[in-house]
Amino acid sequence: MERLAVILLVDEHGSVLLQERDEGAPRAPDQWGMVGGHVEDGEEFEAAAYRELEEETGLRLQPGELTLCIEAEFTYPDGYHGSYHVYGAHTRLTDDDIVVGEGRQIVFVPPEDIPGLDLADSTREFLPQFLASDFYRALRDADGAHPTQ
């Protein structure tokens, strides 16, 4: 089973950081997904989340800034099976702070625009859970207590 660590940053407007994958993506090409990816052998999920975030966006967060909010297994229709750890954090960062290291674009997407996106299957599974959670509401309404830079 693949181990995956993915990250959902929430900005001051409640928008969620998502990645539009390009045609070369090994899974879910040309679809929108969560930032993050595979946990390397010998690596912990949380460490992978920080590493993946930096590799894909150029953002370097400090340990303790990400919070595990969903831990679940998911199987794609083609049988690809993964153990997902979904992390979240509030941020004051904007699209201008993102350096796209992978994919077509990585931007903050307002929740009302998400239904119009072609979402990867795993994102279609986990993002609605995240948006319906008390954790998301707390991040969206954060007053600056522990926001990322």
Residue 24 belongs to a domain: yes
Residue 36 belongs to a domain: yes
Buried b (16+ CB within 10 A) or exposed e, 67-98: eebbeeebeeeeeeebebbbbbbbbebeeeeb
| Three-state SS at 8 | strand
Q: Which amino acid is at 27?
A: R
CB within 8 Å of 65: residues ≥ 6 apart: 89, 146, 148
Residue 145 belongs to a domain: no
How many domains does one find in the chain? 1
Residue ranges making up the domain that contains 26 = 2-140
Q: What is the pTM of this model?
A: 0.93
Q: Encode the chain (149 residues) as per-residue pLDDT tens digits.
A: 999 999 999 999 999 999 999 888 777 878 999 999 999 999 999 999 999 999 999 999 999 999 999 999 999 988 999 999 999 999 999 999 999 988 899 999 999 999 999 999 999 999 999 999 999 999 999 865 444 54
The angle at the Cα of 114, spanning 108 to 118, to the nearest 5 degrees, equals 110
Residue 44 belongs to a domain: yes
Residue 59 sits in a domain of what CATH number? 3.90.79.10
Distance between CA atoms of residues 86 and 75, nearest Å: 15
Residue 30 carries which DSSP code? T
Element (H, E) at 86: strand 81-90
Residue 146 belongs to a domain: no
Residue 135 belongs to a domain: yes
Residue 147 belongs to a domain: no
Residue 12 belongs to a domain: yes
